[in-house]
Amino acid sequence: MEKSLASTIARFTDLLMDAVCMVDADGRFVFVSAACERIFGYAPQEMIGMQMINLVAPADRERTLAAARSIMDGQPNSRFENRYVRKDGKIVHIMWSARWSEADQLRVAVARDVTATKQAEAMQYTLYAISEAAHASDNLPALFERIHGIIGAMLPAAGFAVALRGELDECLQFAYYVNANGSAAPHPVARWLGEEVSRSGQPVLLTPATMTLLPPALQATAGLAPVCWIGVPLATTHGRIGVLLLQGGEASGLSGYTDQEQELLLFVSNQVATAIHRQQLYTRLRFMAQHDELTQLPNRRLFHDRLQMALARAQRHQSELALLFIDLNKFKQINDDHGHACGDQLLREVAQRLKHCVRESDTVARLGGDEFVVIVEEVLVAADARQIVEKIHQVLAMPMALADGLSLTATASIGVAHYPEHGSDIAQLIRYADQAMYAAKQTLEHTG
């Protein structure tokens, strides 16, 4: 009778979409319903005798054992969630309802596969988080770092890279690259994968089973790093802007990434591309608002901001700075004799030469017309500024090759103001440098 009843119960449990499991006091499966094969990938006869905990994802084992002990102590649990590793290596999310049968010395549990629900929730969160990151990030590096963290929470990613197309030549440039080894240079496989995805516009999945996709020369180098990669295109309504790459590590499993994980990354890639494109536009607009269109130097507004910050640093550190006002001599005559296009070329060349006369930490700006200004921080003695003035005169005196074989030189009148000697605030320093520049120009006119 008992055997007949058990057989009847087994037939009915096999009709359930949820899986029914019984685990003994040693943690081994003694009964599983037919639904277990659909959920876990193992046939029922394979699961019988297996240790339950060996199927649990490593990260969830400790709390799963704690929950099992609590159930065996007489505390039923109706909504316990953990992750299992299927026979094919995929992760499945399970919601359990379980209790302990003291008479039978068994944990009886019903398992529901909630993977689809969890993935939908994760996707919704990921899309929302990427949108938030786009609004919260002030620049592209900050955005890339945020997106790395967001996607890394959804998919295993020992390495993460964003490669963007150049505006002119459309060549891929790695704008962001992080891997587990701390290498700053992208792995050769990453470069090849980026180019392949960019060329085809299609996602590419590299696993140990698809190693033959790599050129023979790269197959040897791939052995130096985990061979599991996903590359997906970054595309907006305006076209493809680059490639997003993930590099898996041990957490990805021996078989690497799955087609399902590739689909997840491809799904969020549109949101990522939109966020990057938005930040690129914002960066470009901000640059245009703060820089001179002709020379690409900081404009008057940004110059005032830079001078204010430089003066604050000098006051805080009790250091000195120099302010140079530069006005090209007889520039109007160049425009009149050779045309405004030639004058624009000369201004661009002057801007580049002025930048080479100072350090990267210093500021060269164009105030308008043929007027330039230079902020030199941490000046030790007045002779430092005089050396820069002499260097500017020297580089401007060197011939500048312009259009149609024309070669010109330039001279400039330069006025210098020192902080704190010539003023303690911005207005005083600008006024002194401006007056010194006009004095130099008048001297040149009287002697010329």
Give the pLDDT confidence score for residue 219 in this predicted structure.
74
442 and 394 belong to one structural domain: yes
CATH number at residue 61: 3.30.450.20
Give the pLDDT confidence score for residue 13 in this predicted structure.
60
Give the pLDDT confidence score for residue 222 in this predicted structure.
62
Give the pLDDT confidence score for residue 14 in this predicted structure.
60
pLDDT under 50: residue ranges of the chain: 1-6, 251-254
- Global pTM reads 0.69
Give the pLDDT confidence score for residue 6 in this predicted structure.
44
Determine the structural domain holding residue 80 and report its residue range: 2-113
Is residue 257 assigned to a domain?
Answer: yes
Give the pLDDT confidence score for residue 217 in this predicted structure.
76
239 and 261 belong to one structural domain: yes
363 and 379 belong to one structural domain: yes
Structure tokens belonging to residue 38: 């659909």
Q: CA distances (Å), 179 to each of 159, 176, 224, 249, 307, in order?
A: 4, 10, 13, 10, 39
Which sequence positions are flagged as catalytic?
A: 370
For 112, phi then psi, to 5°, come to: -115, 130
Instruction: Report whether 334 contacts 408 (CB < 8 A).
Output: yes
CA distance 154 to 145: 15
141 and 253 belong to one structural domain: yes
Is residue 295 assigned to a domain?
Answer: no
97 and 155 belong to one structural domain: no
Give the pLDDT confidence score for residue 159 in this predicted structure.
87
Give the pLDDT confidence score for residue 254 in this predicted structure.
42
CA angle 275, 276, 278 (to 5 degrees): 65
126 and 273 belong to one structural domain: yes
Which residue intervals of 95-181 are DSSP H helices? 115-136, 140-154
311 and 248 belong to one structural domain: no
Show which of 90, 113, 136 is a domain's final residue: 113
Instruction: Report whether 311 contacts 419 (CB < 8 A).
Output: yes
Give the pLDDT confidence score for residue 448 in this predicted structure.
57
Nearest to 395 by CA among 343, 346, 354: 354
Give the pLDDT confidence score for residue 119 in this predicted structure.
83
Give the pLDDT confidence score for residue 2 in this predicted structure.
47
Helix or strand or coil: residue 13? Answer: helix
Give the pLDDT confidence score for residue 182 in this predicted structure.
67
* Number of domains forming the structure of the chain: 3
Is residue 353 assigned to a domain?
Answer: yes
CA angle 168, 173, 174 (to 5 degrees): 155
Is residue 222 assigned to a domain?
Answer: yes
Q: Which amino acid is at 2?
A: E
Is residue 137 assigned to a domain?
Answer: yes
348 and 423 belong to one structural domain: yes
